């Protein structure tokens, strides 16, 4: 039973091109602007968003998940209200680029963390299988030390519980890239809709 619990199969079953990716969600290491932006083509200077302190601060605050989408929308509306009409669209495209860069980077960090977490789970599963096999071998001996066997069983039970709790946590961790994507989509839409239609 403990050996079955140590099997990594349920934790790592996912239809992906990366066999080590543990999530049900498909692994997409980074997003492209075309996936989220429905506004006009971004000018080259959009990439220089960090050079403008006001845009840099706004993009940082809008991207921060501690701030609700509603709060981010209010921040954007307040920023737009203070701009000359002819600057609105250009500045908004820089804001979008900043939000995109920040959330795409954050998402990449999360995906890297998930991969490391999954690797640790695989190592733990291998250790649990080995420990279970050793306990089985000891149990099969007619002169087995019962105190040692009980000690091993207790440790195996405890480590299996930790493994299973980590497996459960992984289910929630796998949702984080999707949560970041959803935030990016909503913010991109807000920024696009805030642009002045010529």
**Over the stretch 45-57, which tens digit does the pLDDT of each residue have?**
999 999 999 999 9
Residue in 16, 29, 170, 171 with CA at minimum distance from that of residue 104: 29
**Domain for residue 139, yes or no?**
yes
Q: How many residues does the chain have?
A: 198
The rounded distance, in Å, linking the Cα atoms of 21 and 188 is: 28
Q: Please state the rounded mean pLDDT for residues 131-152.
A: 87
The per-residue pLDDT of the chain, averaged, comes to 88
**Domain for residue 71, yes or no?**
yes
Query: Would you give the DSSP letter of residue 174?
Result: T
Token digits of residue 65:
């998940």
**Domain for residue 72, yes or no?**
yes
**Domain for residue 28, yes or no?**
no
The tally of CA atoms less than 13 A away on the side-chain side of residue 55 is 25
Identify the domain containing residue 90 by its residue range.
49-194
**Domain for residue 34, yes or no?**
no
Long-range contacts of 146-150 (CB under 8 A, 24+ apart): none
Higher-pLDDT residue of 95, 145: 95
**Domain for residue 59, yes or no?**
yes
The rounded distance, in Å, linking the Cα atoms of 161 and 49 is: 48
**Domain for residue 35, yes or no?**
no
**Domain for residue 1, yes or no?**
no
- Residue 42's contacts (CB-CB under 8 Å, 6 or more residues apart) are 33, 93, 96, 97
Please tell me the predicted confidence (pLDDT) of residue 56: 97
Question: Would the pTM count as exceeding 0.95?
Answer: no
- Residue 47's contacts (CB-CB under 8 Å, 6 or more residues apart) are 97
- Number of domains the chain contains: 1
Please tell me the predicted confidence (pLDDT) of residue 16: 52
Higher-pLDDT residue of 75, 9: 75
């Amino acid at each position: 039973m403990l050996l079955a619990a140590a099997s990594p199969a349920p934790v790592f079953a996912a239809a992906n091109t990366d066999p080590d990716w543990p999530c049900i969600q498909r692994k997409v290491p980074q997003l492209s602007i075309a996936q989220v932006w429905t506004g006009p083509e971004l000018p080259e200077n959009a990439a220089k968003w960090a050079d403008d302190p006001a845009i840099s601060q706004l993009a940082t605050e809008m991207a921060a998940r501690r701030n609700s989408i509603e709060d981010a929308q209010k921040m954007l509306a307040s920023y737009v209200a203070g701009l000359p009409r002819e600057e609105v669209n250009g500045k908004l495209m820089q804001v979008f680029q900043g939000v995109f860069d920040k959330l795409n980077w954050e998402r990449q960090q999360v995906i890297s963390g998930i991969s490391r977490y999954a690797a640790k789970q695989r190592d733990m599963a291998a250790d649990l299988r080995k420990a279970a096999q050793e306990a089985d071998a000891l149990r099969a001996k007619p002169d087995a030390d019962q105190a040692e066997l009980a000690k091993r069983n207790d440790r195996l039970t405890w480590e299996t519980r930790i493994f299973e709790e980590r497996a459960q946590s992984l289910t929630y961790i796998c949702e984080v890239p999707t949560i970041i994507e959803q935030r990016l989509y909503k913010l991109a839409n807000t920024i696009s809709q805030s642009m002045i239609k010529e």
